[in-house]
């Protein structure tokens, strides 16, 4: 058994500007009812002991079926190399020029988040203040440096190699584990579902900075920084950060719970693509970004994320040849899979993955539940907002 090589940052041949160190804020000291997530130690996939690997697959299966979120540790990036990426994200936010903010302004109506997001809403035109700034790196940004803030150019070798490692090593190995849960060959999901062009495929890498809200802004936003949603892609890789704000929805007791800071770990959640492919065995879990606990209310929250996407032209359907699905059938409790299945059973076309994600980015993302096209619905006493895209109904709890 070979051992997977760890991430090695590129050796720079050019002198680079000095980059101040990111100082992680103090973790919260408040007593919080945390989400209980399982931990997957990815290096164990290389274990020569088949029993160790089998246990890892079983833990992964339980995590994705029951929680939809997991911590990934020992995935090959040292804390030092990871913190360097936070240094760079902090540097980008501190140094992007007003001209670049204007020139690189994003336009979600085109179906992607590429470029610069200012602190006013989720459209190109300024909307309500949300205090969230981002730069989103899609495939074109890695090819044409004219689409990037000038301040990040000296460091693109590091950003590119980091994304390459995350996609071609970490995500590929994660997909191996998920393929094994489906009881299929190791590269099944990597070969057939994952988009793989360039460092981010059809997905994207995000540098985000959440500025603290003052008391009026908190009231206005009802302490929600990003509304509840599921991700549409394959896997989302969020680097665990000290400022507590990510919450996940537990459908067992209809509660939102914070995800605890776990230094150096990746917080992984699965997107709707994998929910459909797996016939509902994998869950695209609802999550949101909430106001941090009071002892962190004044902290800036720096966040870096890699969103992995499925192949653009593919129309999803469950892998009915998976031995897991053949033995256990479909899991019909899941939202998007149930809707896709309804369309497939009726012989109606489901959207391509590109159509699906572009519809969500251009119209739905970060719309308050009350403003969604289908309005608000109550199911078993829980309030949901409803939307429909390409004939697929989507319900999100408020
Ligand atoms: Fe998300």
CA 394 to ligand 1 center in whole angstroms: 15
Q: Which pLDDT does position 276 carry in this prediction?
A: 93
> Which has more pLDDT, 209 or 344?
209
Q: Determine the distance from the C-alpha atom of residue 391 to the mean position of all C-alpha atoms in its chain, rounded to a whole number.
A: 24
- Sign of the Cα torsion 301, 299, 212, 246 reads positive
34: tokens are 């945390």
39-318 CATH fold: Jelly Rolls (2.60.120)
Which residues lie closer than 8 Å to 51 by C-beta, 6 or more apart? Answer: none
The mean of the pLDDT values for the chain is 92
Residue pair 212/299 in contact (Cβ under 8 Å)? The answer is: yes
CA 211 to ligand 1 center in whole angstroms: 18
Q: What is the mean pLDDT of residues 372-384?
A: 72
Domains of the chain, by residue range, sit at 39-318
CA 1 to ligand 1 center in whole angstroms: 35
CA 287 to ligand 1 center in whole angstroms: 6
pLDDT in tens, 197-206: 999 999 999 9
pLDDT at 67 over 90: no
Confidence of residue 228 (pLDDT cuts 50, 70, 90): confident
pLDDT at 388 over 90: no
User: Of all residues in the chain, what percent carry a pLDDT higher than 90?
Assistant: 75
Q: What is the mean pLDDT of residues 43-62?
A: 97
Confidence of residue 332 (pLDDT cuts 50, 70, 90): confident
Report the relative pairing of strands 132-137 and 204-210 from DSSP bridges.
Answer: antiparallel
Q: Which pLDDT does position 165 carry in this prediction?
A: 98
Residue 339 is inside which H or E element, if any?
Answer: helix 335-345
pLDDT at 233 over 90: yes
CA 143 to ligand 1 center in whole angstroms: 25
CA 205 to ligand 1 center in whole angstroms: 13
Phi and psi angles of residue 120, each rounded to the nearest 5 degrees, phi first: -125, 80
CA 230 to ligand 1 center in whole angstroms: 6
The answer to whether the predicted template modeling score (pTM) of the entire model surpasses 0.75 is yes
Q: Which of 28-42, 97-111, 217-231, 354-368 has the lowest mean pLDDT?
A: 354-368
CA 199 to ligand 1 center in whole angstroms: 20
pLDDT at 387 over 90: no
Highest mean pLDDT (candidates 248-252, 270-274, 339-343): 270-274
Range list of β-strands (E), the chain: 38-41, 69-73, 115-117, 132-137, 204-210, 224-229, 235-239, 246-250, 255-258, 266-270, 287-290, 301-307, 376-379, 382-389, 392-397
Q: Determine the distance from the C-alpha atom of residue 383 to the mean position of all C-alpha atoms in its chain, rounded to a whole number.
A: 24
pLDDT at 285 over 90: no
CA 107 to ligand 1 center in whole angstroms: 18
Q: Which pLDDT does position 398 carry in this prediction?
A: 67
Q: How many other CB atoms sit within 10 Å of the CB of residue 29? A: 9
């Amino acid at each position: 058994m070979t051992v997977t090589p760890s991430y090695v940052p590129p050796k720079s041949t050019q002198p680079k500007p000095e980059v101040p160190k990111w100082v992680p804020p103090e973790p919260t000291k408040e007593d919080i009812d945390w989400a209980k997530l399982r931990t997957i130690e990815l290096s164990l996939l290389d274990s020569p002991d088949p029993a160790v690997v089998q246990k890892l697959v079983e833990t992964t299966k339980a995590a994705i079926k029951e929680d939809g979120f997991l911590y990934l540790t020992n995935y090959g990036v040292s804390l030092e190399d990871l913190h360097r990426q936070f240094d760079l994200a902090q540097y980008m936010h501190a140094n992007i020029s007003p001209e670049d903010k204007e020139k690189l302004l994003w336009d979600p109506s085109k179906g992607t988040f590429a470029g610069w997001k200012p602190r006013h809403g989720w459209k190109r035109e300024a909307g309500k203040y949300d205090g969230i700034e981002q730069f989103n790196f899609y495939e074109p940004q890695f090819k044409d440096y004219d689409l990037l803030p000038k301040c990040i150019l000296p460091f693109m070798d590091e950003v590119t190699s980091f994304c390459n490692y995350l996609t071609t090593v970490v995500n590929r190995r994660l997909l191996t584990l998920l393929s094994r849960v489906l009881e299929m060959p190791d590269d099944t999901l990597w070969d057939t579902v994952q988009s793989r062009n360039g460092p981010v495929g059809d997905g994207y890498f995000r540098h985000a900075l959440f500025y603290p809200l003052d008391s009026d802004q908190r009231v206005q936003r009802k302490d929600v920084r990003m509304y509840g949603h599921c991700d549409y892609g394959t896997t989302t890789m969020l680097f665990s950060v000290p400022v507590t704000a990510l919450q996940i929805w537990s459908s067992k007791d209809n509660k939102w719970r914070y995800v605890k800071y776990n230094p150096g770990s990746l917080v992984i959640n699965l997107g709707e693509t994998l929910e459909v492919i797996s016939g509902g065995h994998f869950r695209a879990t609802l999550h949101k970004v909430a106001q941090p606990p009071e002892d962190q209310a004044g902290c800036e929250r720096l966040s870096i994320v890699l969103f992995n996407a499925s192949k653009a032209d593919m129309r999803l359907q469950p892998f009915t040849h998976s031995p897991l699905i053949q033995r256990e059938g479909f899991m019909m409790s899941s939202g998007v899979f149930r809707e896709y299945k309804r369309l497939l059973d009726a012989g109606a076309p489901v959207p391509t993955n590109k159509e699906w994600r572009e519809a969500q980015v251009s119209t739905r993302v970060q719309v308050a539940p009350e403003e969604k096209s289908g309005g608000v619905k109550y199911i078993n006493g829980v309030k949901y907002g409803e939307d429909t895209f390409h004939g697929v109904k989507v319900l999100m709890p408020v």
